[in-house]
Structure 1
Amino acid sequence: MSELTEPVDIGGVSVPNRLYRAPVLECAGNGPDAVDTLVDELEPTAESGVGLVFQGASIVTDRGGCAAPNMTRVHDRSFVARLERLTDAVHDHGGRIFLQLAHGGLRSMATWHAGYRTRHPDQRQLAVSRPPWQLRLLDRAGLISLRPDVLTTEDVWGLAEQFGRCAGYAADAGYDGIHLSAANMSLIQQFLSPFYNRRDDEFADGVRFMEAIHDAVRDHAGSIPLVTKVPAETDAPKFVRRHLSRADGLDIAERVAEIGYDAVVPVEVSTFWDMSIVRGDFPDRAWDASDLQADYASVFGSRLRARAVELLNRWQARRFDHEPGWNAEFCRAVRERVDVPVLLEGGLRTRADCDRYLAADGDTPAADLVGMARPFYAEPRLGARLLAGEDALCESCNNCTIPQVTGEPGRCRTPSIVREQGRLAEAGAYERNRDEK
């Protein structure tokens, strides 16, 4: 049995407790205020006592690859060097910070964001193989736009090397570890998934790409801890015949641990970027927001198309189970097979659930660390309350997520939660060690 407040080791880095902030969009971009935005977003989390902070998906290339507006790119050494101010701020509060490296591949904005395509008419999407027929059908129907640039074997090696270079920049800037975005329809998941990967070279085995990234990270960043998500595409729609089963996910987890990855984050996902990522209620407040209607129309190409996406969103909100810790059984199965820490995230909102999944309770614990993501939009200093035994305010209403397709920052849009957060802040609930004062 492990306690939330106990330290844990990841690849030789000591993390002061087992609570982490899972990767979410900070919407910082790369402009002159990017570092300030990241510090303002992430320092309060470390200040509240959260042991490990993951900076959200950061793109390794100089163009394309962004799955949402205002994602940060980390291809430029001089920009990443400026992020030392962020890593210093986290360290000053006793926390650790890992950088999540990513590329969107076919999930990139050039696929689904009409306004982005207008501004970048020549941009193509990196593709593992020729896109699946389901996506080609949506392309012909005009619902998405596919201009795939299928990677050659040489291209894949070069991309793995680019992941390694960015990891080296991060190590130099004081990051404590690297996290690979290998789920949620990222390019790495596309390599792993039989739905996307129809290659006939050595990278027909998607784990080979992860091995190439591992080796490149070791070349450029030495022994820095390396963590990756491990997907099982158990939530794929029924019309998708080829996808990663849970058994496939277990095999991937075992193999990456053998390669030398220092921790894994098992997640049950879809083959697509859908509500399996952010399960919960249908975000009616966000879709009805009068100030965002024109932006939605611009993003999706028209008010009619925006309405179609909204209806699909409503259907998916009913389809996916919202049980807290929905990845727990997959995590537990992985934990029985690997000798590296297993991280659990997905719908956790209470201290009791955190404790339950860390404890054996007559069975194998589900995880060695537990994480939350969206709750930190509502309570940036949530760690202080969780570590004191209290629960998150977040109700998984998802009103914070949908506006991000327009470039809006992640923030809670539920008035009752905003008011309660303000009341708690005024009462000093977010001060660390408040019971000792």
Structure 2
Amino acid sequence: MSRTDNPQLTDPIDIGGVKVPNRLYRAPLLECAGNGPDAVDRFIAELEPTAESGVGLIFQGASIVTGDGGCAAPNMTRVHDPGFVDRLSRLTDRIHDHGSKIFIQLAHGGLRGMSLWHAGYREDNPDAVQKAVSQPPWQLRVADRAGFIDLRPNVLSTAEVRELAEAFGRAAGYAADAGYDGVHLSGANMGIVQQFLSPYYNDRDDEFADGVQFLLAVRDAVRDHAGDIPLVTKVPVETASPPFVRTHLTRDESLDIGRRLAAAGYDALVPVEASVYWDMSVIRGAFPDRAWAAAELQSEYAAVFGGRWRARAVELANRLEGRWFDREPGWNADFCRAVRRAVDVPVLCEGGLRERNHCDRLLGESCDMAGMARPFYAEPRLGARLLAGDNRALCESCNNCTIPQAVGEPGRCRTPAVVRERARLKKDGVYDSGRSRRE
């Protein structure tokens, strides 16, 4: 890949033959659109404003490739049904009308399924199990015996692993037919891809003991069903794991994974610092006081977590985790830089980025594209400001948008000062015209 010297956020870039008009992307988020009759309209309402604001690339959030299981949160969308995915062509057409590109993120939760942690889901689905790469690590088995989680692992046979890879490929084919420009694999956040890559979860004795082989099987399936559609994946390094976890993906191991995937035909990589658990290493920032204190959500939290005291215990753990993880903006930049030096495909950086100046500094040094996620909950039309020269997103990284998603609430900013400022900017026409508010 030929790399541009000193690229700026407004410069175009090529990913697997797809011309992206600039280097700002909306990182995957939970749209909570589900699969109901209004799902496509909900996607359009969520994502079209971002394309209209000029953002070059939009990643539709994690979409589950199987017809059952695999959802890590309520109201996630499944893309195993070609009829449903075909309806999403209305979404891709609307994104393309504004000159933006859209990739779909394909996912499966594996052990990180709702049957593991969501009390209400277990009550409604008493026979639900979790797809497992191997027998779960002892820490999860202890948590199960203590009653904190409900662990029901179904360890995949070699044939079932191959079928799961085929499910990713079939979904990619449906997406290509619906007009999606590329495919993004959800390779972190304790999903099934990370579980294959991680020595913490993968203790297999077949060919998939080497977790990269699963990603190669997915690549082959995607090529079979979707042709040369661009293929992107996250590459996790598990250095954010709690100190009691001795076995995890090291930096050297993850760098080797990145090299192998780039050499195997993956068109871009998204390096991320991860934990072996689904914790606040994913959504670092301030403790979400407003979300946890919301009176209208208290009974829902209790139903999800199995009672008010259990909900309070989760809240306490959330508070402690919020203090543990480093909140430095661009926390993945150092790992991105190392991966970028090792591969010849575009490297995408996300994780706490909030300033245009910071993005421009990272481009060409640590990455080839810069992404934001939660700021688009706060400002769906954020691209109009950043690309016009404004420096900072309104998002305060307070996580008041994320915690309510445990009960199926859509992602939206719940911080009054931010909502008021967004309303003022909208009234002033900043988002509509793209004129900048210099800071």
Instruction: Output the TM-score relative to the length of structure 1.
Output: 0.98
Find out whether 1:33 has 2:38 as its counterpart.
Answer: yes
Counterpart code for 1:426 = K
Q: State the Cα distance separating 1:217 from its structure 2 match.
A: 0.2
Specify the SS of the correspondent of 1:336.
helix
Provide the rounded CA distance (Å) in 2 between the counterparts of 1:153 and 1:422: 53
Provide the rounded CA distance (Å) in 2 between the counterparts of 1:71 and 1:389: 34
Maintained 8 Å contact 1:70/1:407 = yes
Provide the rounded CA distance (Å) in 2 between the counterparts of 1:317 and 1:304: 20
Specify the SS of the correspondent of 1:44.
helix
Maintained 8 Å contact 1:49/1:432 = no
> Match for residue 393 of structure 1?
394
> Match for residue 336 of structure 1?
341
Specify the SS of the correspondent of 1:29.
coil
Maintained 8 Å contact 2:29/2:60 = yes
Change (3 A) 1:433 1:385: closer
Counterpart code for 2:337 = R
Provide the rounded CA distance (Å) in 1 between the counterparts of 2:184 and 2:197: 16
Map residues 86-97 of structure 1 onto 2, 5 A cutoff. Answer: 86-97=91-102
Q: State the Cα distance separating 1:248 from its structure 2 match.
A: 1.1
Find out whether 1:267 has 2:277 as its counterpart.
Answer: no
> Match for residue 429 of structure 1?
430
Q: State the Cα distance separating 1:434 from its structure 2 match.
A: 3.7
Map residues 143-182 of structure 1 onto 2, 5 A cutoff. Answer: 143-182=148-187
Maintained 8 Å contact 1:99/1:178 = yes
Q: State the Cα distance separating 1:388 from its structure 2 match.
A: 1.2
> Match for residue 326 of structure 2?
321
Counterpart code for 2:409 = E
Specify the SS of the correspondent of 1:68.
coil
Q: Deviations over 1:314-341 (max 9, x none)?
A: 0110111111100000000000000000
Q: State the Cα distance separating 1:389 from its structure 2 match.
A: 1.6
> Match for residue 413 of structure 1?
414
Q: Deviations over 1:291-333 (max 9, x none)?
A: 0000000000010011111010001101111111000000000
Maintained 8 Å contact 2:239/2:275 = yes
Provide the rounded CA distance (Å) in 2 between the counterparts of 1:188 and 1:88: 30
Provide the rounded CA distance (Å) in 2 between the counterparts of 1:356 and 1:281: 25
Provide the rounded CA distance (Å) in 2 between the counterparts of 1:330 and 1:265: 10
> Match for residue 117 of structure 1?
122
Match of 1:133 among 122, 130, 138: 138
Q: State the Cα distance separating 1:373 from its structure 2 match.
A: 0.3
Find out whether 1:201 has 2:202 as its counterpart.
Answer: no
Q: State the Cα distance separating 1:381 from its structure 2 match.
A: 0.3
Structure 2: which 5+ runs fail to align? 1-5
Counterpart code for 1:379 = E
Change (3 A) 1:425 1:247: same
Specify the SS of the correspondent of 2:430.
coil
Specify the SS of the correspondent of 1:118.
helix
Counterpart code for 1:40 = A
Provide the rounded CA distance (Å) in 2 between the counterparts of 1:357 and 1:265: 14
Q: Deviations over 1:137-172 (max 9, x none)?
A: 000000000111100000000000110000000000
Q: State the Cα distance separating 1:431 from its structure 2 match.
A: 2.1
Maintained 8 Å contact 2:165/2:217 = yes
| RMSD of aligned alpha carbons | 0.7
Q: State the Cα distance separating 1:358 from its structure 2 match.
A: 0.8
Provide the rounded CA distance (Å) in 2 between the counterparts of 1:210 and 1:193: 13
Q: Deviations over 1:171-198 (max 9, x none)?
A: 0000000000010000110000000000
Find out whether 1:295 has 2:300 as its counterpart.
Answer: yes
Find out whether 1:402 has 2:407 as its counterpart.
Answer: no
Q: State the Cα distance separating 1:370 from its structure 2 match.
A: 0.3
Find out whether 1:17 has 2:25 as its counterpart.
Answer: no
> Match for residue 233 of structure 2?
228
Structure 1: which 5+ runs fail to align? 360-364
Percent identical residues: 71
Q: How many residues are paired up?
A: 430
Q: State the Cα distance separating 1:356 from its structure 2 match.
A: 1.0
Q: Deviations over 1:327-368 (max 9, x none)?
A: 000000000000000000000001111111114xxxxx1000
Find out whether 1:213 has 2:196 as its counterpart.
Answer: no
> Match for residue 3 of structure 2?
none
Maintained 8 Å contact 2:53/2:434 = no
Match of 1:278 among 277, 283, 286: 283
> Match for residue 362 of structure 1?
none
Provide the rounded CA distance (Å) in 2 between the counterparts of 1:350 and 1:235: 24
Q: State the Cα distance separating 1:433 from its structure 2 match.
A: 4.4
Provide the rounded CA distance (Å) in 2 between the counterparts of 1:110 and 1:255: 34
Provide the rounded CA distance (Å) in 1 between the counterparts of 2:241 and 2:328: 18
Counterpart code for 2:340 = R
Provide the rounded CA distance (Å) in 2 between the counterparts of 1:221 and 1:296: 40
Provide the rounded CA distance (Å) in 1 between the counterparts of 2:344 and 2:394: 34
> Match for residue 307 of structure 1?
312
Counterpart code for 1:41 = E
Q: State the Cα distance separating 1:239 from its structure 2 match.
A: 1.1
Q: Deviations over 1:220-274 (max 9, x none)?
A: 0000000000000001111111100111110110010011000000000100000
Q: Deviations over 1:20-70 (max 9, x none)?
A: 000000000000000000000000000000000000000000001000000
Specify the SS of the correspondent of 1:346.
coil
Match of 2:90 among 85, 88, 103: 85
Provide the rounded CA distance (Å) in 1 between the counterparts of 2:55 and 2:123: 41
Provide the rounded CA distance (Å) in 2 between the counterparts of 1:43 and 1:306: 35
> Match for residue 194 of structure 2?
189
Map residues 48-127 of structure 1 onto 2, 5 A cutoff. Answer: 48-127=53-132
Specify the SS of the correspondent of 2:342.
coil
Specify the SS of the correspondent of 1:229.
strand
Specify the SS of the correspondent of 1:367.
coil
Maintained 8 Å contact 2:56/2:101 = yes
Counterpart code for 2:372 = M
Provide the rounded CA distance (Å) in 1 between the counterparts of 2:57 and 2:372: 11
Maintained 8 Å contact 2:235/2:271 = yes
Provide the rounded CA distance (Å) in 2 between the counterparts of 1:175 and 1:218: 15
Counterpart code for 1:300 = F
